[in-house]
């Protein structure tokens, strides 16, 4: 990869990370109102990780630095922006007010992947594209593996969980709202059962992405992550945006690979 390739890759990665944070603006808005009005103190968390100011700084600082680095930055400054995202995501993952949020799990992994990519690109080497793709495949596979393990239960296999989450609420996503309009309750339960099983089996299959050729695996990951958002819940973009950006960068590195030799 040339330095220009690296800059483009890091900017795209930062765009995915920034989109993930911005996609949660509604969450941040209500969190500010609720947590400021009704402070919550749980002794499980150290005092520092209960502080509202830390919560606010961890959200705002990576966005601000990413905007600055994207406009003015070379590779080093873009790398530092990913470092800020990694630190902020790690803090938010263990903070009382955003504990264990999947958005910050994917942001943390993608930030670390981009930091590695910048370092590896500086060293060069003909295997960079393969290593970048494999690491991206492993991260996406881990994401789907976690989902598959959590859903491999009788309640998911029967469709009861999906029926309760997606089919009972009239304000749900357009796909489920349409099904509610054309099916009776028995029909919705039947669709929920087949849909739930398809999701479980698909996630187990996607957990095997590292076993596939890089370009095929990356395209499958991009397609699967996009389908999750379009057909299930637009709010999932806060979780999938960093992964989509990472897969696109890894695919682009495959194209740039001939320049390394």
* Each residue's pLDDT tens digit, 40-85: 788 889 999 988 889 889 999 999 999 999 987 889 999 999 999 9
Q: Say how many CA atoms lie within 13 Å of 216 toward its Cβ.
A: 7
Residue 126, pLDDT score: 76
Angle, helices 214-231/237-256, rounded to nearest 10 degrees: 160
Residue 260, pLDDT score: 41
Cα–Cα nearest to 157, from 198, 112, 107, 105: 198
pLDDT band at 122 (very low <50, low <70, confident <90, very high): confident
> Using H for helix, E for strand and C for coil, what is the string for the chain?
CCHHHHHHHHHHHHHHHHHHHHHCHHHHHHHHHHHHHCCCCCCCCCHHHHCHHHHHHHHHHHHHHHHHHHHHCCHHHHHHHHHHHHHHHHHHHHCCCCCCCHHHHHHHHHHHHHHHHHHHHHHCCCCHHHHHHHHHHHHHHHHHHHHHHHHCCHHHHCCHHHHHHHHCCCCCCHHHHHHHHHCCHHHHHHHHHHHHHHHHHHHHHHCCHHHCCHHHHHHHHHHHHHHHHHHCCHHHHHHHHHHHHHHHHHHHHHHHHHHHC
Cα–Cα nearest to 203, from 140, 155, 258: 140
Q: What is the mean pLDDT of residues 164-185?
A: 82
- 205 touches 223 (CB < 8 A): no
Distance between CA 184 and CA 197 in Å, rounded? Answer: 20
What value, to the nearest 5°, has the Cα angle with vertex 203 and ends 108 and 192?
A: 120
Q: Check pLDDT > 60 for residue 102.
A: yes
Q: Check pLDDT > 50 for residue 259.
A: no
User: What token pair was written down for 52?
Assistant: 């509202």
Q: Check pLDDT > 50 for residue 261.
A: no
Residue 180, pLDDT score: 84
Q: Check pLDDT > 70 for residue 27.
A: yes
Kindly give, in sequence order, each residue whose CB lies less than 8 Å from that of residue 118, ignoring residues fewer than 6 positions away. 6, 10, 75, 78, 79, 82
Residue 190, pLDDT score: 93
pLDDT band at 257 (very low <50, low <70, confident <90, very high): low
Residue 95, pLDDT score: 92
Q: Enter the pTM of the model.
A: 0.91
Sign of CA dihedral 20, 26, 29, 33: negative
Cα–Cα nearest to 209, from 143, 154, 131, 119: 143
pLDDT band at 140 (very low <50, low <70, confident <90, very high): very high
Angle, helices 102-123/3-23, rounded to nearest 10 degrees: 170
Lowest mean pLDDT segment, chosen from 20-29, 38-47, 97-106: 38-47
Q: Check pLDDT > 50 for residue 29.
A: yes
């Amino acid at each position: 990869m040339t330095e220009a390739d690296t800059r483009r890759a890091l900017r795209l990665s930062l765009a995915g990370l920034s989109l993930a944070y911005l996609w949660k603006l509604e969450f941040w808005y209500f969190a500010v109102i609720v947590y400021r009005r009704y402070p919550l103190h749980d002794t499980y968390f150290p005092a520092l990780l209960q502080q509202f100011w830390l919560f606010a700084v961890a959200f705002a600082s990576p966005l601000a630095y990413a905007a600055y680095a994207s406009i003015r930055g070379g590779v080093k400054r873009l790398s530092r922006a990913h470092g800020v995202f990694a630190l902020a995501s790690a803090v938010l993952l263990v903070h009382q007010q955003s504990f264990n949020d999947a958005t910050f799990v994917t942001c943390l992994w993608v930030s670390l992947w981009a930091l590695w990519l910048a370092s590896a690109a500086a060293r060069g080497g003909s295997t960079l594209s393969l290593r970048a793709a494999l690491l991206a495949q492993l991260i996406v596979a881990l994401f789907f593996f976690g989902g598959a393990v959590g859903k491999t239960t009788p309640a998911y296999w029967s469709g009861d969980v999906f029926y309760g989450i997606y089919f009972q609420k009239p304000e749900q996503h357009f796909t489920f709202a349409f099904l509610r309009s054309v099916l009776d309750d028995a029909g919705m339960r039947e669709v929920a059962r087949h849909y739930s099983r398809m999701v479980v089996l698909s996630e187990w299959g996607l957990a095997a992405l590292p076993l596939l050729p890089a370009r095929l695996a990356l395209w499958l990951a991009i397609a699967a992550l996009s389908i999750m958002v379009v057909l299930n819940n637009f709010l999932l973009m806060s979780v999938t945006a960093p992964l989509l950006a990472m897969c696109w960068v890894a695919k682009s590195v495959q194209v740039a690979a001939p320049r390394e030799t």
